């Protein structure tokens, strides 16, 4: 799942006249350069026949990371600077979009688009066998890369026992999926993540005493029908499948599951058992990922 990384800095800055003319304005807006810096850059640009970005780099006024940030804005590919947004640092798709990890995520996204979402399906459960196998962080990062593709994406924390998405995305709304399933809330409690144009997150909500029963209610089916009518991609983070039967109910509502395992950690017998459980629900195992990050 690892592909060759292409350095976005190598894209010619003057390849599009309209974009070239906005580079200086964006750098000014982001506080990367001052008006005085811009004057010096323009002088160097004219004197040496350089592009604006190349002149700024040569003068040492900006870095290649600054250029990547500007290009991301120009091409509607939002990502965050370290510390921006108060989200978990493990959201590599948000904070480190040009790394090997995120390249692997984009490759996974492409496979899922071809093998699942292009077939008309809109929802997918992210399932691991046990705790600490990285399924929640993979679900969160996968949601980000889908939103970066322009897909209207909803990430749902369906782990009603030990949820984490509200912490990962720093969500202040206390209500979530459990409250919707109990009939105490509606889709209006979904949190729109402002840092990403097409990403929304629904936390687990109030921890219920009966999570398996809640996930088995008809209200879960009603919720899923509403969600897939409103969003292009709906990803559900589940309770580890080897611990409870909660994940089976969630997978059954999605119709498909992506299995997550951790390198040198997940036992093959556990993974096989989870696969068999999913198959028994009538759902499809869309793929499997070995998490080694």
pLDDT in tens, the chain (293 residues): 433 222 222 223 233 333 444 778 778 877 888 888 888 888 888 888 888 888 888 898 888 777 766 766 665 566 677 777 789 989 999 888 888 999 999 999 999 999 999 999 999 999 999 999 999 999 999 999 999 888 999 999 999 999 999 999 999 999 999 999 999 999 999 999 988 879 999 999 999 999 999 999 999 999 999 999 999 999 999 999 988 999 999 999 999 999 999 998 999 999 999 999 999 999 999 999 998 86
Q: What are the distances in angstroms from CA 266 to CA 236, 269, 271?
A: 21, 9, 7
* Residue 2: per-residue pLDDT: 34
SS3 160: coil
Supply the pLDDT for residue 31: 83
Indicate if the alpha-carbon torsion angle 83, 86, 90, 93 is positive or negative.
negative
Give which of 134, 131, 151 is closest to 90, Cα–Cα.
Answer: 134
Residues whose CB falls within 8 Å of the CB of residue 120, separated by 6 or more in sequence, listed in order: none
Tokens representing residue 84 in the block:
């921006």
Compute, in degrees rounded to 10, the torsion defined by CA atoms 68, 72, 134, 205.
140
How many degrees, rounded to 5, is the angle at CA 189 between CA 183 and CA 193? 150
Residue 14: predicted pLDDT: 31
| Cβ proximity of 218 and 98 under 8 Å | no
**C-alpha to C-alpha distance for 57 and 136, rounded to whole angstroms:** 39
Pairwise CA distance, residues 212 & 158, whole Å: 11
According to the model, what pLDDT value does residue 284 have? 95
């Amino acid at each position: 799942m690892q592909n060759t990384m292409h350095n976005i800095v190598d894209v010619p800055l003057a390849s599009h006249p309209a974009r070239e003319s906005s580079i200086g304005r964006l750098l000014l807006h982001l506080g990367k350069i001052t008006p005085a810096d811009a004057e010096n850059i323009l002088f160097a640009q004219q004197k040496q026949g350089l592009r604006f970005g190349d002149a700024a780099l040569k003068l040492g006024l900006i870095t290649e990371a600054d250029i990547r940030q500007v290009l991301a804005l120009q091409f509607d590919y939002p990502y965050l600077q370290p510390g921006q947004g108060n989200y978990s640092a493990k959201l590599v798709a948000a904070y480190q979009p040009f790394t090997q990890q995120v390249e692997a995520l984009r490759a996974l996204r492409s496979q899922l688009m071809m093998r699942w979402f292009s077939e008309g399906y809109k929802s997918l459960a992210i399932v691991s066998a046990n705790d600490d196998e990285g399924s929640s962080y993979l679900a969160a990062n996968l949601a980000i890369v889908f939103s970066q593709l322009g897909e209207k994406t909803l990430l749902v924390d369906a782990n009603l026992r030990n949820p984490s998405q509200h912490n990962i995305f720093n969500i202040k709304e206390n209500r979530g999926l459990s409250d919707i399933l109990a009939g105490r809330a509606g889709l209006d409690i979904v949190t729109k993540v402002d840092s990403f144009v097409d990403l929304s997150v629904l936390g687990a909500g109030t921890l219920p005493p009966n999570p398996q029963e809640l996930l088995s209610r008809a209200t879960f089916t009603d919720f899923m029908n509403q969600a897939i009518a409103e969003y292009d991609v709906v990803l559900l983070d589940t309770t580890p499948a080897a611990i409870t039967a909660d994940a089976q109910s969630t997978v059954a509502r999605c119709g498909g599951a992506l299995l997550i395992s951790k390198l040198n950690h997940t036992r093959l017998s556990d993974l096989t058992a989870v696969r068999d459980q999913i198959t028994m629900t009538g759902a499809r195992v869309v793929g499997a990922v070995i998490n080694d990050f």
